[in-house]
């Protein structure tokens, strides 16, 4: 998995990584693998020393001018760190790898330099943390959300997409708000339910636990994650998490009622909704090759138009597998290619046309 | 793992398997592997034919006198099938492989022949079912509860223990009541919480689900199990399940309150009880819970490479507790995760590296 990735045309470096933990150091290693210059900074000097020693880059020095800043700090410090990066590096594109996306965006939305910020979130991690757990292949084949906001400059989006591909990630395009609703469903609420299952074990007699099989190990594995980190993550996404927990609670009440009443058919129906849920999880790495189709859209060359198109595609509930921007500086209109599953292409075209976009088949 | 197990001194056969599904056929295959005569019966004649064709035994015939009857029928029919086996085979020891243990015991407790019954429950299964999914090594290294009741004859207990060891299972001794409380905690309630997490996915937009990572896959895996079977299992253990679901509901309310109030410290405490729970799960193959660690290895996609890696790991004298293969058909190299005791991880990494493997920490 250590082959050098092809570098895109937009990201040329240097790349500054702020926060040399598991994710930041892994980004540094992946960028170095492709020959980019990487600068490192961290409040903990020993993290920079460790990451440097692993070959993830060198310590940031006075006078360094990064092209891209990747903010990889804990959730509670994310917004402030993104704002500080925009101010300290007035020419740089800034992204982050945090687990929630509306928070850091709101922290900079009122700043005129927010057009240089494009959020990101790689779906990769580990029960372990710190630079020693880092690996250049941590992101290989993993989804990596890219969350442009309405004011993101297209060139900033391109630079961040280059970073994602260079790290081996699979871009998933979402708005910051949709991203946070998505991770509440696919990550934060499953984590909390894993914790509820694991908590019951803590009170169990030892010989009862001897019956633990693969099932309970799988269900509870993520509950071993750092409570401090996850309380920050869940706390930063409380609205979306609460919406879903309310649904969970209602369904739990239904389960309790069905079990209590000996209502086998009702319980079977509830269990069947779980089966349906497991079937909609996409296969790893995109699963079996599905037929893809490109949809082209004319996009006026005004700030915000690309982000507006992305937001409209996201609202159409179509998963955009790839985006290519065919931008000719000499023309007032660019052509954007959206690659989607063939079976969803007509739906997307209709939806975009109804929102006023000029499409090409 | 297919080597012949040593036969104990008590179990000499013939063994009659009632119900030639996944578990029954696997028991038959394991007994045949050790040279015991195996008889098969099933309401579905084609199951007997399939299992016979796989080498799991021959169809039960008039005049056969089994030494041991293994009842492997769905939970709703378990009590009646155990009672019928005791009556039809007046000299035989009778056991079963059902997921709950007080039900079948109560079904025979008033019969004078109940002293020949000893319950059993192997912690092995699969999302698959039916004889074709069976394997002689299904039980290898898995806990297998043996649940003698107050009237069980010692010789009957010995015969059942021989069966468990011959199948490669690790005996866990519990009373029927303790068993049912144990599986409510280690299996049934985790299953229901997995269903609650999976059910939320069913309602999610497709592009949100693109962010699904390994965590949600793990949490929801068991929710794919057959709703009809699990509604029988949970229904047959309703009292113990309801006790725990009441605790789950109280803790869910606490989580909702903490998230709603932005109470980070309270949420962190709740998450910490989950961490504590994951720490009391015993390591596989019994023994006290030891800290585990994952080691990743890049494995070229050639036939034999995975087997060579396993052989090298075995030669390194490190016990591999679990293996997960993250294989992307589109790439020439796969990533294999080996889960080993934390104290042995560095030794394994060094050993594999010295044999030319590319590892990731």
**B292 shares contact with chain A (CB less than 8 Å):** no
> CA A191, CA A234: separation in Å to the nearest integer?
10
Q: Is the separation of the CB atoms in A201 and A217 below 8 Å?
A: no
What integer pLDDT is reported at residue B306 of this predicted model? 66
Instruction: Tally the residues of chain A.
Output: 361
**Matching fold, domains A180-283 and A292-360:** no
Please give the interface size between A and B, counted as residue pairs whose CB atoms are below 8 Å apart.
389
Q: Searching chain B, which residue's CA lies closest to the CA of residue A209?
A: B281
> CA B323, CA A212: separation in Å to the nearest integer?
17
Give pLDDT tens digits for A265-274: 999 999 999 9
How distant is the Cα of A37 from the closest Cα of chain B, in angstroms?
A: 22
Whether residues B224 and A181 touch (CB distance < 8 A) is answered with no
Return the SS3 of A145: strand
**B204 shares contact with chain A (CB less than 8 Å):** yes
Q: Is the separation of the CB atoms in B312 and B355 below 8 Å?
A: yes
Of A233, A211, A206, give the one whose Cα is nearest residue A222.
Answer: A233
Task: Locate the DSSP E strands across B174-329.
Answer: 292-300, 322-326
Of B57, B79, B55, give the one whose Cα is nearest residue B66.
Answer: B57
Which residues are CB-contacts of B293 (< 8 A; sequence separation ≥ 6)? A128, B339, B340, B341, B342, B345
Whole-number Cα distances in Å, B112 to B86, B105, B120, B154? 10, 13, 20, 16
What integer pLDDT is reported at residue B302 of this predicted model? 63
Whole-number Cα distances in Å, A224 to A185, B236, B278? 19, 31, 6
**A65 shares contact with chain B (CB less than 8 Å):** no
**B342 shares contact with chain A (CB less than 8 Å):** no
What does the DSSP 8-state code read for residue B138?
A: T
What does the DSSP 8-state code read for residue A152?
A: -
Place of tokens 């299953």: B191
Return the SS3 of B10: coil
The residues that bridge with A117 in the sheet, in sequence order, are A94
Using an 8 Å CB-CB cutoff, list chain B residues near A222.
Answer: 215, 218-219
Whether residues A193 and B189 touch (CB distance < 8 A) is answered with no
Report the first-to-last Cα separation within chain A, whole angstroms.
Answer: 37
Q: Is the separation of the CB atoms in A272 and A256 below 8 Å?
A: no
How distant is the Cα of B49 from the closest Cα of chain A, in angstroms?
A: 30
| Three-state SS letters, A63-105 | CCCCCEEEECCCHHHHHHHHHHHHHHCCCCEEEECCCCCHHHH
> CA A150, CA A310: separation in Å to the nearest integer?
9
Q: Is the separation of the CB atoms in A193 and B219 below 8 Å?
A: yes
Q: In terms of CATH, what superfamily is A15-174?
A: NAD(P)-binding Rossmann-like Domain (3.40.50.720)
Nearest CB to A219; choose among B194, B207, B213? B194
How distant is the Cα of A117 from the closest Cα of chain B, in angstroms?
A: 21
What integer pLDDT is reported at residue A282 of this predicted model? 83
Return the SS3 of B121: strand
Q: In terms of CATH, what superfamily is B179-280?
A: 6-phosphogluconate dehydrogenase C-terminal like domain (1.10.3660.10)
Whether residues A245 and B267 touch (CB distance < 8 A) is answered with no
Whether residues B326 and A284 touch (CB distance < 8 A) is answered with yes
**A332 shares contact with chain B (CB less than 8 Å):** no
Which residues are CB-contacts of B196 (< 8 A; sequence separation ≥ 6)? A193, A248, A251, A252, A255, A274
Q: In B159-169, which positions are buried (b, 16+ CB within 10 angstroms) versus exposed (e)?
A: bbbbbbbbbbb
How many C-beta atoms surround the C-beta of residue B261 within 10 A?
Answer: 11
List the structure tokens of A19.
């926060």
Record: fold of B292-360: Alpha-Beta Plaits (3.30.70)
pLDDT at A286 over 50: no
Q: Searching chain B, which residue's CA lies closest to the CA of residue A229?
A: B268
How distant is the Cα of A11 from the closest Cα of chain B, in angstroms?
A: 24
Angle at B112 between CA B120 and CA B110, to 5 degrees: 75
What integer pLDDT is reported at residue B194 of this predicted model? 98
The secondary structure element, H or E, covering residue A231 is: helix A227-235
> CA B141, CA B132: separation in Å to the nearest integer?
21
What integer pLDDT is reported at residue A288 of this predicted model? 45
> CA A52, CA B14: separation in Å to the nearest integer?
67
Taking domain A180-283, whether its CATH number is 1.10.3660.10 is answered by yes
**B237 shares contact with chain A (CB less than 8 Å):** no
Whole-number Cα distances in Å, B16 to B20, B40, B62, B69? 10, 6, 13, 5
Q: Sheet holding A143-147: strands in order across? A: A119-122, A143-147, A170-173
Mark the ranges of chain B whose per-residue pLDDT is less than 70. Answer: 1-7, 125-128, 283-290, 301-308, 310-311, 314-315, 318-333
Torsion of CA B328, B331, B335, B336, to 10 degrees: 70
Q: Is the separation of the CB atoms in A248 and B194 below 8 Å?
A: no
- Rg of chain A over Cα atoms, rounded to whole angstroms, equals 22
Q: Mean pLDDT over all residues of chain A? A: 88
Give pLDDT tens digits for B38-69: 999 999 999 999 999 999 999 999 999 999 99
* pLDDT level of residue A332 (50, 70, 90 thresholds): low
Nearest CB to A208; choose among B178, B255, B272? B178
Q: Searching chain B, which residue's CA lies closest to the CA of residue A186?
A: B212
Q: Which residue out of B271, B292, B301 would a mutagenesis test of the A interface target, given it has the greatest number of A Cβ atoms within 10 Å?
A: B271
Sign of CA dihedral B219, B220, B221, B227: positive
Give pLDDT tens digits for B173-226: 888 998 999 999 999 999 999 999 999 999 888 889 999 988 999 999 999 989
Q: Searching chain A, which residue's CA lies closest to the CA of residue B181?
A: A208
* pLDDT level of residue A122 (50, 70, 90 thresholds): very high
* pLDDT level of residue A356 (50, 70, 90 thresholds): confident
**A250 shares contact with chain B (CB less than 8 Å):** no
Of B192, B185, B202, B201, give the one whose Cα is nearest residue B223.
Answer: B192
What integer pLDDT is reported at residue A192 of this predicted model? 98
Whether residues B274 and A187 touch (CB distance < 8 A) is answered with no
Q: Searching chain B, which residue's CA lies closest to the CA of residue A201?
A: B277
**A195 shares contact with chain B (CB less than 8 Å):** yes
> CA B126, CA B106: separation in Å to the nearest integer?
28
> CA B14, CA B67: separation in Å to the nearest integer?
5
Which residues are CB-contacts of B76 (< 8 A; sequence separation ≥ 6)? B232, B236
Q: Which residue out of A53, A190, A203, A251 would a mutagenesis test of the B interface target, given it has the greatest number of B Cβ atoms within 10 Å?
A: A190
Using an 8 Å CB-CB cutoff, list chain A residues near B204.
Answer: 182, 185-186, 280
Which residues are CB-contacts of A38 (< 8 A; sequence separation ≥ 6)? A13, A14, A15, A16, A17, A28, A31, A32, A56, A57, A58
Give pLDDT tens digits for A5-52: 566 789 999 999 999 999 999 999 999 999 999 999 999 999 999 999
Domain boundaries, chain B: 15-174, 179-280, 292-360
Nearest CB to A197; choose among B143, B190, B262? B190
**B271 shares contact with chain A (CB less than 8 Å):** yes
């Amino acid at each position: 998995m250590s082959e050098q990735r092809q570098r895109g045309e937009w990201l040329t470096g240097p790349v500054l990584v702020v926060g040399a933990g598991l994710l930041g150091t892994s980004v540094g290693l992946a960028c170095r693998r492709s020959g980019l210059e990487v600068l490192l900074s961290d409040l903990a000097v020993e993290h920079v020393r460790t990451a440097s020693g692993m070959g993830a880059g060198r310590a940031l020095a006075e006078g360094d001018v990064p092209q891209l800043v990747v903010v990889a700090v804990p959730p509670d410090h994310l917004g402030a760190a993104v704002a500080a990066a925009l101010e300290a590096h007035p020419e740089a594109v800034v992204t982050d790898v945090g687990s929630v996306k509306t928070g850091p965006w709101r922290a900079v939305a009122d700043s005129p330099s927010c057009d240089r910020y494009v959020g990101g979130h790689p779906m990769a991690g580990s029960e372990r943390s710190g630079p020693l757990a880092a690996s250049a292949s941590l992101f290989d084949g993993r989804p990596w959300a890219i969350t442009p906001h309405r004011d993101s400059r297209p060139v900033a989006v391109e630079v961040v997409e280059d970073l994602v591909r260079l790290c081996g990630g699979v871009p998933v395009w979402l708005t910051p708000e949709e991203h946070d609703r998505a991770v509440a469903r696919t990550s934060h609420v499953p984590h909390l339910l894993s914790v509820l299952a694991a908590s019951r074990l803590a009170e169990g007699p030892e010989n009862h636990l001897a019956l633990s099989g693969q099932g309970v190990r799988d269900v509870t594995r993520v509950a071993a994650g750092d409570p401090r980190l996850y309380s920050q993550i869940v706390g930063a996404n409380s609205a979306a998490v609460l919406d879903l927990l309310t649904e969970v609670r209602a369904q739990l009440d239904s389960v309790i009622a069905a079990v209590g009443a000996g209502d086998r058919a009702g319980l079977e129906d509830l269990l069947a909704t779980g089966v349906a849920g497991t079937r909609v999880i996409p296969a790893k790495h995109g699963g079996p090759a599905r037929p893809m189709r490109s949809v082209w859209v004319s996009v006026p060359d005004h700030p915000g138009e690309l982000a507006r198109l992305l937001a409209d595609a996201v609202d159409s509930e179509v998963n955009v597998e790839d985006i290519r921007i065919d931008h000719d500086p000499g023309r007032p209109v660019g052509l954007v290619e959206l690659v989607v599953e063939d079976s969803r292409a007509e739906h997307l075209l209709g939806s975009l046309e109804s929102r006023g976009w000029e499409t090409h088949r």
